[in-house]
Structure 1
Amino acid sequence: MIEINNIVKSFNGKEVLKGITSNFQKGETNLIIGGSGTGKSVLLKCMIGLVKPDAGTVLYNGRDFYNSDKDTQQSIRREMGVLFQGGALFDSKTVEENVRFPLDMLTDQSASEKQERVAFCLQRVGLEAAAKRMPSEISGGMKKRVGIARAIVMNPMYLFCDEPNSGLDPLTSVKIDELIKEITEEYQITTIIITHDMNSVLEIGQNIFFLYQGDKLWEGKKEEITKTTVPELQEFLFSNKLLREMAR
């Protein structure tokens, strides 16, 4: 479980996050949605330690990330897996070398232990046949799956996905959504997904969190979202044709 309490962040005097509070349960796909520039990515960066909030706390199973000693912070970081928006693969490394990278950097496992874990993660995302290929030799959807394999190679308790469907065609997007949801439920991970893809909201959104100009204006389940009376959320949702049809 992750708890965020009164997270505030400003840049150059402009308040980007205005006291955000919520909690995210394990085994669920928690989606943070909103338009461009609403603070979604800044909130994610505050949660994973890339940006320090000006105020507020981030708790991982009760452990205060920003008010803990370095050993505790490092322990929490090792429990995180992150899927970056662009995949962030190393062009000079093979698929299996990309997946193995966190194990090389953060563990003292033997070569055989690393190889076994990498093979398992690639098999889990359906890419065992691509292990020796370079990123330039695989499709965008395959790169996202490599990113997922790398994100779970350390057997994380917490998985963060920044726009996992960015740049993908609709069919591949659905497959990536399904894979993330399956992994979340199978391993009981606390998963947080930053997205503006409304198909993702409808398909895998279990807990949904709407940000608007740095404020949390709505939070609830996907079954409730089309019934919202929040004007800003209505405008965001019903710009999507599929949701307009569902709401009729």
Structure 2
Amino acid sequence: MIEIKNITKTFGDRQVLAGIDGTFRPGDTSLIIGGSGTGKSVLLKCMIGLIKPDSGEVLYDGRNFLTSNIDEQKAIRREMGVLFQGSALFDSKTVLENVRFPLDMLTEKPEDEKVARAHECLQRVGLEGAADRMPSEISGGMKKRVGIARSIVLNPKYLFCDEPNSGLDPLTSIKIDQLIKEITDEYKITTIVITHDMNSMMEIGEKIMFLYQGNKLWEGDSDTITHSTVPELNEFIYANKLLREIEK
């Protein structure tokens, strides 16, 4: 379980996060949604240690990540999997080498175990046959799946996905959402997805947090989001629906 308490962050004179609280449970696919510049990606970076918040707590199963010493933080980071926006694959490495990279960096497993685990993760995302290909030789959707395979190669307890559907067509986006949901259910991972995609909200949003100008204005699930009485959220939903219609 991940808990965040009173997370605040200011850049210069601009407050990006204003006291954000939330609880994210194992086996749930939790979404953090909001328009551009609302603070959702900054919140994720605070949670995984890429940005230090001005105040607040980030608890991983009761362990305060922000006040832990370096060794404790490293231990928590080994339990994280991260799917970055754009997949962030190494162009000079094969698909297999990209997937096994966290094993090379963070473990001392024997070579054969690393290779076997990387193949296992590629098989889980349906890309076993692409192991020897380069990132330039595969599609955008396949790159996302490689990124997911890499994010689960260390058997994480916590999975973070930053805009996993960015740049994908609607059908591929649905497949990526389904894969994230399946992996979350299968391994009982605590999964947090940063997104503005309406389909994701309705299909996999077991818990949804809406941010607006650095504030949490609403929290619920896919069954209750369309009944919101929050004007900013309703406007966000309407804009998403309109965009999807235009894309069709």
Partner of 2:21: 21
Please list the CA deviations of residues 49-105 of structure 1 after superposition, one character each: whole Å capped at 9, or x if unmatched: 000000000000000001112111110000000000011000000000000100001
Judged with a 3 Å threshold, the aligned counterparts in structure 2 of structure 1 residues 129 and 222 are, in CA distance, closer, same or farther, namely same
Tell me whether 1:86 sits opposite 2:86 in the alignment. yes
Partner of 2:203: 203
Judged with a 3 Å threshold, the aligned counterparts in structure 2 of structure 1 residues 188 and 242 are, in CA distance, closer, same or farther, namely farther
Q: For 1:74 and 1:236, how far apart are their aligned partners in 2?
A: 37
Q: For 2:68 and 2:153, how far apart are their aligned partners in 1?
A: 25
Output the aligned Cα RMSD.
Answer: 1.4
Q: For 2:12 and 2:52, how far apart are their aligned partners in 1?
A: 14
**8 Å Cα contact 1:238/1:244 also seen in 2:** no
Shift of 1:242: 7.6
Shift of 1:106: 0.4
Q: For 1:7 and 1:58, how far apart are their aligned partners in 2?
A: 8
Query: Normalising by structure 1, what TM-score?
Result: 0.97
Shift of 1:171: 0.5
Tell me whether 1:219 sits opposite 2:228 in the alignment. no
Shift of 1:239: 2.1
Shift of 1:20: 0.2
Q: For 2:92 and 2:19, how far apart are their aligned partners in 1?
A: 42
Partner of 1:180: 180
Partner of 2:77: 77
Judged with a 3 Å threshold, the aligned counterparts in structure 2 of structure 1 residues 46 and 33 are, in CA distance, closer, same or farther, namely same
SS in 2 for 1:32: strand
1:29-108 superposed matches below 5 A: 29-108=29-108
Query: Normalising by structure 2, what TM-score?
Result: 0.97
Shift of 1:241: 3.2
Partner of 2:121: 121
Q: For 1:168 and 1:90, how far apart are their aligned partners in 2?
A: 20
Shift of 1:43: 0.2
SS in 2 for 1:200: helix
Q: For 2:148 and 2:159, how far apart are their aligned partners in 1?
A: 9
Judged with a 3 Å threshold, the aligned counterparts in structure 2 of structure 1 residues 244 and 170 are, in CA distance, closer, same or farther, namely closer
Q: Which moved more, 1:69-78 or 1:185-194?
A: 69-78
Partner of 1:12: 12
The amino acid of 2:214's aligned partner reads G
For structure 2, list consecutive stretches of 5 or more residues without a partner in the other structure.
none
Q: For 2:162 and 2:121, how far apart are their aligned partners in 1?
A: 20
